[in-house]
Each structure stands twice: as structure tokens, then as C-alpha cells.
Amino acid sequence: MQQRLTDVFNSINRRQIKYCLLRGVDELSIDSNKKEIDLLVLPDYIDEFTMVAKQHGFVTLPSWGHAPHHFFLAYEKNSDTWIKLDVVTMQVYGRPFRYLHLELAESFAGNRIRYEALFTLYPQHEFFTQFLHCLLDKGRFASTHRCRLEDLLLFISNNKQYYAEIGNLFNTYFPDLQAWEHVQHLIKNNHWDEVMQLEKTFCKKLFQQHSVKNTGFYFRNRLERMLRPLLFTLYRHGLSIVLLAPDGAGKSTLAENLVGEDIFRARLIYMGSNIDAATISLPTTRVFKRLVKNSGSESEFIKKPLKAASYINRLMEQWLRIAVGIYHKTRGRFIIFDRYVYD
């Protein structure tokens, strides 16, 4: 586990913040240049958790339309790793918007076990949250999640207390379905397609238990998701940078690598004169370039107006590129200008 993560967990442990790792405890030690940590933090502690995260170099990311999620991002230089903390203050499931509530946050965060520098869920609770996360949030069971659920099921089946507790959880939230018996039968027999067929039934049962609250949460997240462009414009503008260097220094390669990092939500705008490398251009640019190139034998009476028109086209194209950059910036995106007007 990265040192930054260890320091964060040590700090929140000292402050006695009620939290727990929701899933992925088996992935913490895996080397990767991107690491996402899913945490449950009780609502009364989220402000203090945010303060601790910022003290350790994390920045907050906008989460409009993703309630009850809070996102934090940091870069660990020593291991060349981007670390994202995906923190929820309650357990809410559903897609594309989270709206199906389960009243389990207090119970799970208050009943946790220590694993190295952090606290994690008991096996039966991890199975329950991982299963619902894949079924109701993701709409699929990735191979790694299948293996983890199978391992947890085997472990739970050999512990009477854990087995009884998870049976009670399934029977409480999905009554009259014999859900626990059905789920473990399907997983043991590797019938994952049939497991996915439970999605609609499980959604219906969870929705009926808190129909008013779930409806309100659904429309709140849906409205915020629709208003995200406006909210970014008002409260969270993006950043823009300019890459300047001699030809062949690697500007374009660096820009393409930055755009490839989905964490940045980056947009590349080429400002140079090479039309083949252009990301944004006017349809008249190629026409003027071809006309100027073929005007060598023409008289000055034709060449000068043609060059003037080509120059005006070039100015308009640059203004178009700048305007597109401003647009993306107001949407909270990271703008990379490869060259600039004064280059």
C-alpha cells in the first residue's frame, strides 16, 4: 500500500473517524499506476475526513449528480500512482443514478475489523455490499469480482455466525424470495447469467421499502447530472496549459499522454499551422492552403489578395480554437494547448 494511503489511514484512525473499506482489500497491495479506494464514512465524520485528506495532498473533485459520493484525488510521486478515494456516507445503490437506500452504514462502520493500517468489513458484510454493487451499480460481475465473491462465500459457509448473519441480511431486504439460498446456489454452480436476472426483482424490493426517499434521491441526482455543465460554469472552471518547445522536443507526445489519462478530463487543442495535426480547423483552411501553394505562377494582383484572405482565415481559425478552449474550460475540463498564438 502506498505511503500516502498509510499516512491517511493512520491520521483518521487517530481522530477516531468512523469509516471502513467497502471492497478491494485484496487489491491494496497490487502495483498499479491508478488505484481507486472505496470507503464508507459516516455522515457526522465526512467534514473531518475531508480535512485530513486535504492535509495529505488530496484534492476534492466535483460530485454533482453522484450523491452520496465524495471524490478525492492525489498523485503519489514515489510510486507514480494516481490515488482516488471514492467515499460514500450511506449505502445507496442503482444505475445510472444512486437511489436505492439501505440503512446499514451505522451497523457496518460500527462493526468492523482491523486490517493493517485500516478498518474493513467483516466477510459477510463485504459479500453483501460487493454483490449488490456488481448487480445494481455495475450491471455485471467482472471476473475479479466473481473470484472474490466465490472466496467469500466459501469462507462464510464454514462459519455459522457469518452464515446466519448474511442470511438475515438477504431475508430482511429481500423477503419472500428465499434470496440467500437462491444466490448462493447460483454462485456455487457458476450461473452468473441467472444471477444478473435478479437485478429487476432486487431493485423493486429495495425501492418499495423507502419509496418516497428513493424517489426524491433519484430525481435529485438526475437533476444535478443535467445541471452539471451549468454548475461547472458557475463554480468549478477547468485549467488550461500551453506546451511550448522547439520542434521535435516531444510536445505532441506529452499532450497525447495527458489526454489519455481519463482522470484529467483533458482536451487537446493544436494551435500550430500543420493542418494534418490540427484538432480543430475551419473547412476553408485546406482550400486556402492549396490555392496559395498553386498560385506561384499567378500575378501579384492575384497572389496578394489570396495571401491576405488566407491570413484572415488563419486568424479566424485561431480565435475558433481559443473559443473552444474557453468552452471546455467553463465545463471544468483540463485544456492542453499544443503551441499557442505567440509561438
Residues 213-223 have pLDDT tens digits of: 999 999 999 99
Q: Tell me the one-letter amino acid at 113.
A: I
Long-range contacts from 9-13, C-beta under 8 angstroms, 24+ separation: 9/117, 9/118, 10/117, 11/52, 11/55, 11/56, 12/49, 12/52, 13/117, 13/118, 13/119
218 contacts 97 by C-beta, under 8 angstroms: yes
Roughly how many angstroms between the first and final C-alpha of the chain, as a whole number? 43
| pLDDT at 183 exceeding the cut of 80 | yes
Residues 61-118 have pLDDT tens digits of: 999 999 999 999 999 888 888 999 999 999 999 999 999 999 999 999 988 999 888 9
* N residues, the chain: 343
| pLDDT at 202 exceeding the cut of 70 | yes
Q: Which residues pair with 269 in a beta bridge?
A: 337
What is the model's pLDDT at position 292? 77
3-state secondary structure of 241: strand
Q: Which residues pair with 86 in a beta bridge?
A: 38, 71
Q: What is the largest CA-CA distance in the chain?
A: 95
Tell me how far apart the alpha carbons of residues 224 and 230 are, in angstroms, rounded to a whole number. Answer: 10
Q: Tell me the one-letter amino acid at 328.
A: H
Tell me how far apart the alpha carbons of residues 26 and 158 are, in angstroms, rounded to a whole number. Answer: 20
Question: CA-CA-CA-CA torsion for 75, 78, 79, 85, nearest 10 degrees?
Answer: -30
Q: Which residues pair with 20 in a beta bridge?
A: 40
Of residues 238 and 296, more confidence is placed in 238
The CA distances from residue 176 to 101, 103, 155, 188, in Å, are: 19, 19, 26, 22
The confidence band for 337, taking pLDDT boundaries of 50, 70 and 90, is: very high
Mean pLDDT to the nearest integer, 330-342: 87
Long-range contacts from 191-195, C-beta under 8 angstroms, 24+ separation: 192/141, 192/146, 195/135, 195/141
Residues 259-306 have pLDDT tens digits of: 888 888 899 999 988 888 889 999 998 888 888 777 766 666 677 888
Cell numbers standing for residue 229: 455543465
The confidence band for 45, taking pLDDT boundaries of 50, 70 and 90, is: very high
pTM of whole model > 0.95? no
Q: Which phi-psi region, left, alpha or beta, contains residue 198 (left: φ > 0; alpha: ψ -120 to 50)? A: alpha
